[in-house]
Structure 1
Amino acid sequence: MHHPALGQLALAYSPVIDRNRAVIATRLTLSPLHADAPPKAAAVLEALDQVWPAGSGQLWLNITHEGLLMDMLQSQLGSHMIIEVPAFMATDARYTDALCTLHANGGTQVLKGRPLSELSKEVLPCFKHAIVDLSEDRRVDGHVPAAPGGGAAVYRGISVVQSGVCSVEDMEASFRRGVAAVLGWPIDSVIQAGQKTADQPALQVIVQLIDQVHRQDEIDDLENTLKRDPPLAYKLMRYINSPAFGLSVEISSFRHAIMILGYNRLKRWLALLLATASKDPNMRPVMYASVRRGLLMEELGRCSGNDELRSELFICGVFSLLDRMFNQPFSELLRTIPVPEQVFQALAEHTGPYEPYFQLVQAMENGIVYDIRESAERLMLSFDDINAALLRAMTSASQLD
C-alpha cells in the first residue's frame, strides 16, 4: 500500500491501555514533514482507510499541525477513528462550529490537555475523553477528590485518560483514581517492579523448540517436545491460524504447521511465543510492544525483497525486550537461545545491519521527527515506505490481539 499523502508525513505510535491492561486503541501521531504544505485531510483519510478499515480497532489521531487538524475536523471520519483536539482549540469560539458539526455527524473527539477556561455547554458534549497529563492532574494533590466508591474519574464531566505516567506506582495510583486508561506504558518500571516471571516450564519448552527448529530436527522430535505443554501448543496454533498470518488453509497440527510453513517461518512464531510467556498482567503491554516491534521491523524490511532478512528482523524486534523481561543481559541470554548473528549484533552489541532498523522503530515510538528523519536517511527509506510499513504492522498486530 502506497499513497502520496503518506510521503508527506512522519508517523509515530503509542498504545492506549485500560485498567485490565488491554490495548484498547492505537494513538497515531501525524506530523507534516513540511509545515507550509501539509497534505489534505481527505488524502490522509483515504490512505488510512486502505490499511486501517473499520473493524481493525480504534485509531486515535494526534495531529500536530493546526491547519491539517482543522481540515480533519471538517471531514467525515470513520466510526473507528477518534480525533484529538488541543484544549486551546476547544475553548476558542472560532472552532466551535467545526467541533459541534463533527460531533453531530457521529465523529468522536478527545480533549487533549487542561483548558485554561471552562468549555462552553455546546462544546463539552463533543468529547468522549480528556487526556490529562499526570503533572497537571489536580486530583493527584487532592484538590479534586477521586470518584466515590472507585468509580470512573471525570474531568469537567469527561472520563480521564492519563498521560505522563512514568512508573508503576504512578500507573497504579492513576487507576485507583478511576482513570479510564493510560496513554503509553512505563515499560522499564513495570519490568523492574514485576514479581511474576515467565512461566518457566513453558519457557524451557519454547527455548528447546527454537533450538530444535534451528537444527532442523525430525518432526517427531519436535512434536514430542511440544506435547510436554498442551496449552503452549494451543497458543501456537492460535497464532498461526490468526488473520495476521494470512494462510489460505487452517493449520490443524504442529506437524501440519511444519509441512506448510517450513522451519524458518515456524521459528518466528516460536520467537513470538517466547516474548509473550509472562503471566504478569502488567507485562501484557510490554509483550504488546515486543510483538509490534517485530511486526514493524519485518515490514520495514519488505522493501529489500529478502524474505530471510524480513524474518530475522521480526525476531530482532520481538526479542528486543527479552533482556529486561528475564533480567539477563543479551550477551548471556542469547547463549541459550539460538539467533542469527545479525540479531545478536543488534541486541547484544548495538551494531550490525539490523541496528538502524531498530533505531528507526524506537524513534517512531518516541515520536521525535528529527530522529525519525535521521534513521530513515540511514536506511535510505522513503517516508512513504516507512509509514506504509507502520500501518500494515499495526493492523496485523490488532488481528493477533
Structure 2
Amino acid sequence: MTDIAPPSPSSSAEPAHDRQNLIARQPILDDKRAVFGYELFDRSTAAAAHTAASDAALLFNALSYAGSEALVGRKTVFINCTHESLKGPHLELIHPERVVLKVQTLGEQATPEQIGELLPVFESLRARGFRLAFNQEVLRRAYASWLPQAAYIKLDLLAFKPELAEPLIKFARSYSAAALVAEKVETAEQYERMAALGVRLFQGYWFAQPTVIQAQTIRPSQATIVQLINMVRQQASLTEIEELLKKDPTLSFNLLRFINSSGFGLSCEITSFRHAVMILGLKKLFRWAALLLTTSRNTGSPPAVGQTAVVRGRLMELLAAELLQPEDCDNAFVAGVFSLLDVMLGVSLEQAFESVALPQPVVDAVLHGKGVLAPFLELTRACESADEEAFARCAQALHLSNRQVNWAHLQALAWAENLDQDE
C-alpha cells in the first residue's frame, strides 16, 4: 500500500475539534418549484477561514454527522470548493453523481498561465464523473477555456444589471452546454424575467433562506482512530479491523452512517461492520479515518455510556452464542451496542435509528422489543439492574442458568476493561 501516507497535522482543521458543526442548506428549485438540489454552507467557520480543510470538513460532516438523509435526502448537493480542495483526497470518498463542485474564478488579475493551470484538474474531476459549477465570471473572455468544463453556470442577479441578463444568457448558451442557475433571486420580478429567458433553475431568498442544521455528533477518541489508521497502514486482516470496530460503538456508528449516506452512492444499505470495510476498501478506509481524526475532539478514554454499550453488546453476543447462529450473534452485538444510541446522541431511539442502517432483527429488538434478539436484550438490561426477579424471569425464558449468565457477564466486563489497554 505504497499510495497511503500517514495524515499530516493541519492547523487549519484544529478549530473543528471543539466547536459544533453548523451546516446551512439552501434549496435550488426547478421551474415547477420542486427541489432540484441543495447548496451547503459551513456556518461553523467564518468566511475568511474558508480553506481546503474547511471544504473537506463540511462535506465529511454533512455525510457522516448530520444525517445526510435528513439534510439533503437523495438530491444533488452543491459544495463550494477552493482550488486547493479540488485536489483533495476527501473527494475519493464520495459518489461523483451526488455532488456538484462549485468553483470560483481567479479574479481579474489572473494570468492566462494561472487560468490554464487548473484545466487538467477540471478534466480529471470530470473524467471521474464530477460536475463543475462556475459563477458568471466564467463568461469573461479570459476564461473561455473553462466554459466547456461547466455543467452549471450560476448567474448572481445582484452582480449585474437586469438589462445584461439576456446577452449573458445568450453568450452562455452559445459557448457552453451548461445548465443555468439564477441565484440570489429576491423578487417575483427577477424570477419572472429569468424564467422568460429560459432559465430553469433558481435559488434565492424569494424561495427560501438558508436553514441551519446542527449536526448530532458522537465522536470516537483520537486514540482509537489512530489505532485504526495504524492497522490499515500495516494491512491488518479484515477480522482484526472488525474487532476494533466492535470495541468502539462511536467508531462503528460513524462508519455505518457514512457508508450509507447519499454521498457514497450505494444502491443497498450496509448493516454489518465487515461488509462496510469490504465495500470501502483499505485505501478509502484510511482516507475516512484520517478525515475523522481531523474533525474529532481530543477526548481521552471513551465516555461511560460507550463503555456500557460495549459491555452490553459483548454480553448479548456471548449469550446468543449459546443458542443462535453466528450471523444472529453478530446482530446481537450490534443490538446491544446501539441500544444506547439515544443516550449517545441525545435524541430518541427512533430518531437515532433513522440516521444509520441496521439489520432488521436489531431494529425489531431495540425499537419494538420483539424478534429473536429481544429476549437477549431484556436479559442484558436485567443484568445491569438490581432487579433479581426480572433477571430470573429473563434467564429462565431463554433456558439459561444463573451461572451461564453471570459467567458471560464477567467475560463481557473483562473484555470491555481491556479496551484502554488495547489502545
Q: Which has the larger radius of gyration?
A: 2
Normalization by structure 2: what TM-score? 0.37
Normalization by structure 1: what TM-score? 0.39
